[in-house]
Amino acid sequence: MEMREFLKHKIFSIVSDVAEFENVDAYVIGGYVRDIFLNRPSKDIDIVVLGSGVDFARKVARRLRTTKVSYFKNFGTAQLKYHEWDVEFVGARKESYRLDSRKPIVENGTLEDDQNRRDFTINALALSLNKRNFGELIDPFDGVNDLKRGIIRTPLDPLTTFSDDPLRMLRAVRFATQLNFDIEPKTLDAIRQMNGRIKIVSAERITDELNKMMTSLRPSMGWFLLDETGLLEYILPEFVALKGVESRNGISHKDNFLHTLEVLDNLSAKSDNLWLRWAALLHDIAKPKTKRFIQGQGWTFHGHEFVGAKMIPSIFRKLKLPLNDKMKYVQKMVQLHLRPIVLSQDEVTDSAVRRLLFDAGDDIDDLMMLCEADITSKNDATVKRHLANFRIVRKKLKEIEEKDAIRNFQPPVSGELIMDTFGIKPCKEVGVIKTRIKDAILDGEIHNNFVEAYNLMLKVGREIGLTPIKIDQRYVVPENK
Ligand code: ATP
Ligand code: MG
């Protein structure tokens, strides 16, 4: 392949000029080079120089007439932004590690040293930016061949590579998943041997990799690899607990680990939404905790949706996933994931549909997607039947939403108005009235409008012993009309 083609941008020629002028060798290295071969050009460039990365970056910035440079003197790196490009400069380095930390002792090194410290052969490719051999590929570990064969492999002894920086084990799994590559057997075996070292990696780093894995085409691959290598036990033991099948009286339940990963892939084929993918992964997380064998009924996981929703915050906290509305969303999906199924099994009443719309709100479409992905029966007829039922539920959802607008339910009568009407301060009764109105709307006793809600407020107020002190006669409709 003619690599000069991919080094046409002004940035590369300026780096090349600076390298010539300063008499310092410079190379593009790592992800950018890898992605050329994978035909997915990126705007992140890593440049390694045989000298000071910071000084070099300063000179490049001057020639590009940009001031958007950040210098990290302590790390000897500099980051330069130029239009949509993000260029990082670093001096070539040699690294040595201690047992208790991912942080290496760093010395200046040669290009070879720098390639040796890279995580995988496919990430150790370098392209020369020097005038004498501009565009030449330096590939000491046969990385291009690994790219062709689809192989993740460490440049040096994998045991040392992973022991030095255990994050690389997770990066191996992530790259394999993202690129649909195989991890070379010796490398895979080394991960198995070194899996306990993952303990020195921060939760933030781990979760970064998990999220990249989760946004891949087929995220199940990553979770299978994590399990196979024993990393999963350290990262998410709650998920390992889903593995396996138990039998009693010749009745067995399905393997919830396999089922969950099938659901995750089904869902991922339909949606890129990272949080919905997490919800798919965690939707049955409480099945081990709620599993019972009941004579005459077989295996049950009663209440696993509620117990599961309760487990979400601690899992998110441990993984350092955000504890904000994203978490609430995942919780909601886990808690509601059986509702459309239950709904489709019974006769679909308007009232049940309204309640589901109310509880799911704007996330109803996501919830329906998750539920459809949750159908993993091997029996074609069963799958067809469930999907047909879901179509009925969807149709009904649409009809009711058009009629009653429940999705973004706003109480038609406010707490303020209730207090003004009955001359009361905030108290339990206000809540009682509001709930009665909400329930009446969801149950279809009244429509979702102000006049009907206003009259119900007066009625309920009187029932619970309140006397109105201010009534707006314009809205009053006599009871027996
Ligand atoms: P992506 O940006 O898609 O995550 P990348 O390969 O560019 O992939 P970065 O984290 O941006 O990954 O790292 C850039 C390069 O730095 C890598 O290609 C690799 O050569 C090297 N690298 C990154 N992290 C490590 C590590 N933990 N150990 C060894 N080398 C690493
Ligand atoms: Mg990168």
Task: State mean pLDDT over 27-36.
Answer: 97
209 CB under 6 A from ligand 1?
Answer: no
Q: State whether 88 and 192 are in the same domain.
A: no
Ligand lying nearest the CA atom of residue 29: 1
Element (H, E) at 455: helix 450-463
pLDDT at 346: 66
Cα three-residue angle 75-80-83, rounded to 5 degrees? 160
> What are the pLDDT digits (tens) for 45-74?
999 999 999 999 999 999 999 888 999 988
What atom of ligand 1 comes closest to residue 119's alpha carbon? 29
Task: State mean pLDDT over 396-418.
Answer: 87
Cβ 33 vs Cβ 166: under 8 Å: no
Q: How confident is the model at residue 480 (pLDDT cuts 50, 70, 90)?
A: low
> What are the pLDDT digits (tens) for 70-105?
999 888 899 999 999 999 999 999 988 888 888 888
**Average pLDDT of the residues of the chain:** 93
Strands (E), 92-195: 93-96, 105-108, 126-128, 137-138, 151-152, 182-183
Residue 177 maps to a domain: yes
Closest by CA to 70, choosing from 57, 60, 83, is 57
432-453 burial: b if 16+ Cβ within 10 Å, else e: bbbebbbebbbebebebeeebb
> How many angstroms is it from 46 CA to the middle of ligand 1?
9
Residue 223 maps to a domain: yes
> What are the pLDDT digits (tens) for 231-244?
999 999 999 999 99
Residue 343, pLDDT > 80, answer: no
Residue 23 maps to a domain: yes
Q: How confident is the model at residue 178 (pLDDT cuts 50, 70, 90)?
A: very high
Give the DSSP letter string of 296-308.
Answer: TTEEE-TTHHHHH
Residue 82 maps to a domain: yes
Q: State whether 108 and 131 are in the same domain.
A: yes
119 CB under 6 A from ligand 1?
Answer: yes
- 323 three-class SS: coil
> How many angstroms is it from 44 CA to the middle of ligand 2?
6
pLDDT at 161: 95
Strand pairing report for 77-82 and 69-72: antiparallel
From 215, 235, 255, give the residue that closes a domain: 235
Structure tokens at 192: 């198995």
167 CB under 6 A from ligand 1?
Answer: yes
Neighbours of 39 (CB within 10 A): 6
Q: State whether 168 and 134 are in the same domain.
A: no
- Protein residue closest via CA to atom 4 of ligand 1: 31
What atom of ligand 1 comes closest to residue 167's alpha carbon? 27
Q: How confident is the model at residue 18 (pLDDT cuts 50, 70, 90)?
A: very high
What is the best residue among 119, 147, 173, 210 to mutate for testing ligand 1's pocket, by most ligand atoms within 8 Å of CB?
119
Q: State whether 83 and 170 are in the same domain.
A: no
Neighbours of 100 (CB within 10 A): 7
Cβ 311 vs Cβ 287: under 8 Å: no
Task: State mean pLDDT over 33-42.
Answer: 94
Residue 440 maps to a domain: yes
Q: Give the Cα separation of 249 and 29 in Å (integer).
A: 61
From 235, 269, 285, give the residue that closes a domain: 235
> What are the pLDDT digits (tens) for 256-313?
999 999 999 999 999 999 999 999 999 999 999 999 999 988 999 999 999 999 999 9
Q: State whether 131 and 163 are in the same domain.
A: no
- 248 three-class SS: strand
What atom of ligand 1 comes closest to residue 174's alpha carbon? 4
Total structural domains within the chain: 3
168 CB under 6 A from ligand 1?
Answer: yes
pTM above 0.85, yes or no: yes
- Protein residue closest via CA to atom 10 of ligand 1: 31
Q: State whether 177 and 133 are in the same domain.
A: no
What is the best residue among 106, 123, 127, 167 to mutate for testing ligand 1's pocket, by most ligand atoms within 8 Å of CB?
123
> What are the pLDDT digits (tens) for 357-388?
999 999 999 999 999 999 988 888 888 888 88
Instruction: Calculate helix-pair angle for 364-373, 325-336, nearest 10 degrees.
Output: 50
pLDDT at 376: 87
Q: State whether 27 and 130 are in the same domain.
A: yes
Q: 116 or 390: whose pLDDT is higher?
A: 116
Q: State whether 10 and 126 are in the same domain.
A: yes
- Protein residue closest via CA to atom 11 of ligand 1: 31
- Protein residue closest via CA to atom 15 of ligand 1: 30
Ligand lying nearest the CA atom of residue 28: 1
DSSP alpha helices (H): ranges in 322-427? 325-336, 339-345, 350-360, 364-373, 380-404, 415-422
Which CATH number does the domain housing residue 219 bear?
Answer: 1.10.110.30
Q: State whether 121 and 177 are in the same domain.
A: no
Residue 445 maps to a domain: yes
Residue 7 maps to a domain: yes
Domain that holds residue 67: 3-149
Q: State whether 100 and 186 are in the same domain.
A: no
Residue 52 maps to a domain: yes
Which CATH number does the domain housing residue 56 bear?
Answer: 3.30.460.10
Q: State whether 127 and 13 are in the same domain.
A: yes
> What are the pLDDT digits (tens) for 217-230?
999 999 999 999 99
Q: Give the Cα separation of 206 and 441 in Å (integer).
A: 46
Q: State whether 129 and 35 are in the same domain.
A: yes
Q: Give the Cα separation of 172 and 204 in Å (integer).
A: 17
> Residue 40 to residues 29, 36, 131, 145, 210: CA-CA distances in angstroms?
16, 6, 26, 17, 21
Q: Give the Cα separation of 104 and 48 in Å (integer).
A: 18
> How many angstroms is it from 298 CA to the middle of ligand 1?
50
174 CB under 6 A from ligand 1?
Answer: no
Residue 334, pLDDT > 80, answer: yes
> What are the pLDDT digits (tens) for 96-142?
888 888 888 888 899 999 999 999 999 999 999 999 999 999 999 99
Residues less than 5 Å from ion ligand 2, measured at CB: 31, 44
From 127, 149, 171, give the residue that closes a domain: 149
